[in-house]
Amino acid sequence: MIVVMEQGAGPDRVQAIEAVVVEWGLRTHVSQGDERTIVGLIGDESNVNVSALEMMAGVDRVMPVLKAYKRASLEFRTERTVVKIPPARHGDRGLTIGGTGVVVMAGPCAVENREMILSLSAFLKGAGAHLLRGGAFKPRTSPYAFQGLGVEGLRYLAEERSVVGLPIITEVMDTRDVEMVAEFADILQVGARNMQNFNLLKVVGRCNRPVMLKRGLANTLEELLMSAEYVINAGNEDVILCERGIRTFETLTRNTLDLSAVPVLKRESHLPVVVDPSHGTGHWDLVAPMARAAVAAGADGLMLEVHPDPAQAISDGPQSLTPKRFKALMGELELVARAVGRNLH
């Protein structure tokens, strides 16, 4: 339920609403729009006296939230979420995701070794990337495939962070690892295969790191938003949504990248939206056109796989850009971003 305040209703009126709502055993979220303030009610609404609320000073109307997702919805909270990433090192600049800048997360599919991480990230940083991606825990279809370096991989990422200075996004697959991965990561990635691992969502929801939630291989956008709801409801409002392609009957691409997800999620939710054209297409030559299209469609960021030698990559080589191609793409993205009133900060 939301309480829409009258235009010009002052903070005292809003506080009075909050006080009665708290008395009824609920919590509130106040959303300060350009013209109006909206007070969102969080919790068991059966105790709410709607007519008492409607009669309070400064209240324009009381409305139910019709969508299944509430706290992730733009109905509930009108100002867009801007996720803040603190500087990796003293003196570096921090980052925001969901503002006017378009953020680029780039790096290998998996952390393969220390040298690769340190030299590739220095290149990526020079080419304008904002965050380093790299999996230490890898969700692999085959149990015989490389499962990632685990904690050793996280240590290389931490070294990169302090030496080169790119903040880290890396995947966490297990509830038992969340606390440990959060010590190394600036953003926790919940992978497509875990989008509906509700226990994992609740645990990352209790952690004080932003979470990037990747759309499941066969999940609807509503289901993605319901998963975001789990994280927010557990206490973590810094959620980033990621479109990474879905399973369809098409075989010439690895997945079908659903770019309409970008404007749909922006219409439905205040959360930032990132697109991953690497997993979304599975082929490096499709990555640049889909990355440009994603920025044109309004994405707040991109996740791109880059490998120093894709032919030798342990995982996802066919969809990885070479460093040279990545650099060329960054130049193109700058132009597309500017054309749609954004920039690659």
Give the span between the Cα atoms of 55 and 63, in whole angstroms. Answer: 14
CA of residue 20 relative to chain centroid, distance = 34
Give the span between the Cα atoms of 315 and 191, in whole angstroms. Answer: 15
As measured in angstroms, the least distance from the Cβ of 305 to Mn ion is 6
Interaction partner, residue 36 (Mn ion, ligand PEP, none; CB < 5-8 Å by kind): none
279 binds ligand PEP (CB under 6 A): yes
Q: Which of residues 71-130 bind ligand PEP (CB under 6 A)?
A: 109
123: buried, middle or exposed (CB in 10 Å: 19+, 13-18, 0-12)? Answer: middle
Nearest CA to 212 out of 323, 131, 125 is that of 131
Using CB under 6 A, pick the residue from 214, 254, 266, 342 that binds ligand PEP: 214
CA torsion through residues 100, 126, 132, 89, sign: negative
Q: Contacts with ligand PEP: how many residues (CB under 6 A)?
A: 10
User: Which helix (H) or strand (E) element contains residue 280?
Assistant: helix 277-281
Interaction partner, residue 77 (ligand PEP, Mn ion, none; CB < 5-8 Å by kind): none
Using CB under 6 A, pick the residue from 18, 75, 160, 171 that binds ligand PEP: 171
As measured in angstroms, the least distance from the Cβ of 110 to Mn ion is 7
Whichever of 48 and 110 has its CB closer to ligand PEP, that residue is 110
Q: Which of residues 294-313 bind Mn ion (CB under 5 A)?
A: none
307 binds ligand PEP (CB under 6 A): no
Whichever of 77 and 254 has its CB closer to ligand PEP, that residue is 254
As measured in angstroms, the least distance from the Cβ of 257 to Mn ion is 14
316 binds Mn ion (CB under 5 A): yes
Q: Which stretch binds ligand PEP (CB under 6 A): 92-100, 187-195, 200-208, 284-292?
A: 187-195
Taking a C-beta distance cutoff of 8 angstroms, is the pair 286, 260 a contact?
no
Whichever of 9 and 294 has its CB closer to ligand PEP, that residue is 294
Give the span between the Cα atoms of 6 and 58, in whole angstroms. Answer: 5
Mapped onto helix, strand or coil, the DSSP state of residue 216 is coil
Nearest CA to 171 out of 188, 154, 196 is that of 188
Q: Residues 253-288, buried b or exposed e (16+ Cβ, 10 A)?
A: bbbebbbebbebbbebbbbbbbbbbbbbbbebebbb
As measured in angstroms, the least distance from the Cβ of 149 to ligand PEP is 14
Residues in contact with ligand PEP by CB under 6 A are: 109, 135, 139, 171, 191-193, 214, 244, 279
